[in-house]
Amino acid sequence: MDETQRWQGRIERLGWGGVGVARAEDGRVILLSAPLALFPGEQVEADVRWRARHGEGVVTAWVTRAARRAVAECSVAARCGGCDLWEGGDETGELKRQMIGDLLHRSLRGVATPELQWLPAPQWARRQRIQLHWDGARLGYHARGTHEIVTNDACLMAISELSSAIPLLRHALISGSLPGHPARWELACGTPRGDVAAVLEREGADPRCWRLRGAQWVETDEPLTHDVGGMPLQLHPASFAQACMAWAVEAFSQVFTAWELSGEVLHDLYGGGGFFSVLLHKQFLRSELVESDAFAAQDARHNLARLAMVGRDSAPASAWRERSPAPPQRAGFTWDVHAATVEQWLPERLGDLEDVIIVDPPRAGLSSTVIRRLATARAGRIVLVGCDGANFCRDVQRLCGARRLTRLAAIDLFPNTVLVEFVALLDRA
């Protein structure tokens, strides 16, 4: 039977997910969690539940706090589940780098791992998409570890337009001008900052969308527009988009510049509305995009058709095009969008040596079918993107049977949380 005890001791290091790793007197490992961040070297008290070989606990008090610990700016930071690292302050990027190091050390054993390219979030990075919960009376984020709703009239990690829209959304729900049944809502805006959209998710039915006009919500599903490397990317309000789109554009551009990513055909799997195809279109002659979501596939067709009309040579030269040999010149940019699952579409021996496959699967990672078919691909390079660190490392391990891991990057696309976006470049072995 599990036994809970009060424990006091020192945090030795940070593990993946912001877990504090400590040791009991008998040498057993203790994994500790706490709101608002933990620092190596801190002395803490915790309630620990002992398992057969280790302990798991929650920090209840600090005996000594790190001098670098900051004061949380958010009034509900201790309860709200939207953020994890408020008291990390200026050290948040370093804390996340330590978490990443722990994950890679444990999960990529046996894989020759290149030096990590770490891109911490800049101070200006804010969320352009937030998810809120309405229970019929309250609107807000879920409390940490529960489904209780924490209400707040502002979110300091969202851009000001979204933050200001929270009380307007709450008022519309209470007044009945928007559907008032319990539901999950998303607020989103374009890049640069533009109109605010509210999306009501409905199980088994298409989402409903509204646009904020002054202080009123007007029902419309007109797309949101993002600036991606000087090209517009239009997305249905309910389509997936990077939470911090402006920072995502800059960060992925830095990574792909350093990797000199270019070629003949870009096979964009789980391509969504075309983010990577638009970002990289000057580096490739053709995009083959695969996406199963109907809204996103339609977005992709619209966005890639615009690229073909503009033409690759009418766009300004990119930084990485100047650093690497330009791909062979052909007339225009061609594309195709396949509205299918990757499992349905992906053939054996995909591509040629001059091609690149970019794979950005859902959080659960790649299925065994996709792994098996990627292992036979003839494309010279595969770029794997993942927002779940454990699943990402698992997929890297499985692909390394047929591929060689040559570049590795981690991007803080989720500021003030323990989440990280990983990117790997796998060349033919």
At residue 374's C-alpha, the angle toward residues 370 and 376, to 5°, is: 130
More confident residue, 277 or 429: 277
Percent of the chain whose predicted confidence (pLDDT) is above 90:
88
Once rounded to an integer, what is the mean pLDDT over residues 273-281?
Answer: 97
Pick 108-123+244-428's CATH classification: 3.40.50.2000, 1.10.150.120, 3.40.50.150, 3.20.20.150.
3.40.50.150
* CA–CA gap between residue 373 and residue 101 (Å, rounded): 30
Predicted local confidence at residue 166, as pLDDT: 97
Pair 398, 109: CB distance under 8 Å: no
pLDDT tens per residue across span 74-132:
999 999 999 999 999 999 999 999 999 999 999 999 999 999 999 999 999 999 999 99
Q: What is the secondary structure of 98-167 as a DSSP string?
A: HHHHHHHHHHSTTS--PPEEEEPPPTT--BSEEEEEE-SS-EEEEBTTSSPEEE-S--TTB-HHHHHHHH
| Nearest by Cα to 291 from 323, 267, 269, 306 | 269
**Strand spans (E) along 214-252:** 216-219, 224-228, 231-235
pLDDT tens per residue across span 327-380:
333 457 899 999 999 999 999 999 999 999 999 999 999 999 999 999 999 999
Beta bridge partners of 30: 22, 55
pLDDT tens per residue across span 41-63:
999 999 999 998 999 999 999 99
Tell me the residue type at 373.
R
CB atoms within 10 A of CB 122: 14
Q: Does residue 420 have a pLDDT over 70?
A: yes
CB atoms within 10 A of CB 146: 10
Predicted local confidence at residue 1, as pLDDT: 47
203 DSSP assignment: T
Q: Buried (b) or exposed (e) across 418-428, using 16+ Cβ within 10 A? A: bbbbbbbbbee
pLDDT tens per residue across span 134-143:
999 999 999 9
Percent of the chain whose predicted confidence (pLDDT) is above 70:
94
The model carries a pTM of 0.92
| Nearest by Cα to 14 from 122, 129, 102 | 102
pLDDT tens per residue across span 208-224:
999 999 999 999 999 99
Predicted local confidence at residue 322, as pLDDT: 35
Predicted local confidence at residue 204, as pLDDT: 84
Pair 40, 97: CB distance under 8 Å: no
Q: Does residue 192 have a pLDDT over 60?
A: yes
* CA–CA gap between residue 121 and residue 254 (Å, rounded): 13
pLDDT band at 65 (very low <50, low <70, confident <90, very high): very high
N-terminal to C-terminal alpha carbon distance within the chain: 49
Q: Parallel, antiparallel, or unpaired for β 129-134 and 183-189?
A: antiparallel
* CA–CA gap between residue 371 and residue 179 (Å, rounded): 43
Place of tokens 């302050």: 89
CATH superfamily of 3-82: Nucleic acid-binding proteins (2.40.50.140)
* CA–CA gap between residue 218 and residue 116 (Å, rounded): 46
Pair 150, 141: CB distance under 8 Å: yes
Q: Does residue 325 have a pLDDT over 80?
A: no
Predicted local confidence at residue 2, as pLDDT: 60
Of 1-5, 202-206, 284-288, 305-309, give the range with the top mean pLDDT.
284-288
| Nearest by Cα to 129 from 271, 240, 228 | 240
* CA–CA gap between residue 198 and residue 185 (Å, rounded): 7
pLDDT band at 68 (very low <50, low <70, confident <90, very high): very high
* CA–CA gap between residue 136 and residue 185 (Å, rounded): 12
pLDDT tens per residue across span 76-92:
999 999 999 999 999 99
Predicted local confidence at residue 324, as pLDDT: 36
